[in-house]
Amino acid sequence: MRNAEELIEEIRFNTNNIDNNRFTDASIIRFLNSAIRQIQRVIFTSNPTAEQFSKVKTYELETSSQEEIILKLPANIYATNAVTSIYPVRQDGRRREPLVRIDEREHLYKSGYFIRDDKVHLSTGALGTSTHSVEIVYTVKVSALTSITDVPNLPDTVEDFLTCFSERKLHYVDSSKAVADSNVFTKEEKTDIASLFANNNKSIKYPAVTDDTYTNY
């Protein structure tokens, strides 16, 4: 993936905006960041467990596994519902079976976890004995570009979508059309993006719990 400066250069050339009097580098970076957000939204909706955006955070336990444990979600998680799985980890480093996501009303009598107020609540006794730590597997939010030297933290396969989106945004602004009313990515392009990151593994045993309402921002 090229850095923001190289992408901006291509966008300017393709839209015949060579100078920066009308559109500054900062304004085009905003277009690129908008594209990044939309691309990840399409990918997450299509495949919440896409490995390209999967991260693991380990929490060392400081209390008995027989007590209710509350863990703060990672600061860079994509959305509240972007937890793929939670694994108790034994003293020897081996993972146990992933915990089951439960309703908050069930935590007093059912083993598992629920999420509330950006925190993961592990029910009493959910971890079993000899549990050393907990690993949360989650979808990380793609970081925004802040300067022309930044490189988008996306796979190379979506680079053309980044520039295409930004060029269309620029055209809409340049022609005084309402950008908010424009469907910048076509239905076919969204399908193409989704198919690039589709889950082709038919043996997934513990899919993520998803809710599209969390991605509408």
16-71 residue pLDDT tens: 888 777 889 999 999 999 999 999 999 998 888 888 899 999 999 875 556 678 99
Alpha-carbon distance 189 to 147, whole Å?
A: 27
Q: Are 115 and 102 in contact (CB under 8 A)?
A: no
Q: Are 153 and 9 in contact (CB under 8 A)?
A: no
In this structure, are 186 and 119 located in the same domain?
A: no
pLDDT score for 132: 84
Q: Both tokens of residue 209?
A: 């719990």
Residue 95 lies in domain: 51-139
Q: Are 157 and 4 in contact (CB under 8 A)?
A: no
In this structure, are 105 and 73 located in the same domain?
A: yes
Q: Both tokens of residue 83?
A: 């937890």
Q: pLDDT truncated to tens, each residue of the chain (217 aa)? A: 999 999 999 999 999 888 777 889 999 999 999 999 999 999 998 888 888 899 999 999 875 556 678 999 999 999 998 999 999 998 888 888 999 998 888 877 788 999 999 999 998 777 877 788 999 999 999 999 999 999 999 999 999 999 999 998 888 887 765 554 455 777 778 887 878 777 654 434 444 444 443 334 3
In this structure, are 83 and 98 located in the same domain?
A: yes
pLDDT score for 40: 93
In this structure, are 122 and 178 located in the same domain?
A: no
Instruction: Tell me the HSE value of 33 on the side-chain side, using a 13 A CA sphere.
Output: 14
Residue that finishes a domain, picked among 124, 139, 154 = 139
Amino acid at 205: K
pLDDT score for 74: 96
In this structure, are 155 and 133 located in the same domain?
A: no
In this structure, are 79 and 183 located in the same domain?
A: no
Residue that finishes a domain, picked among 118, 139, 160 = 139
pLDDT score for 210: 46
In this structure, are 162 and 129 located in the same domain?
A: no
Residue that finishes a domain, picked among 139, 163, 179 = 139
pLDDT score for 126: 79
In this structure, are 146 and 209 located in the same domain?
A: yes
Count: domains in the chain: 2
pLDDT score for 65: 55
pLDDT score for 129: 73
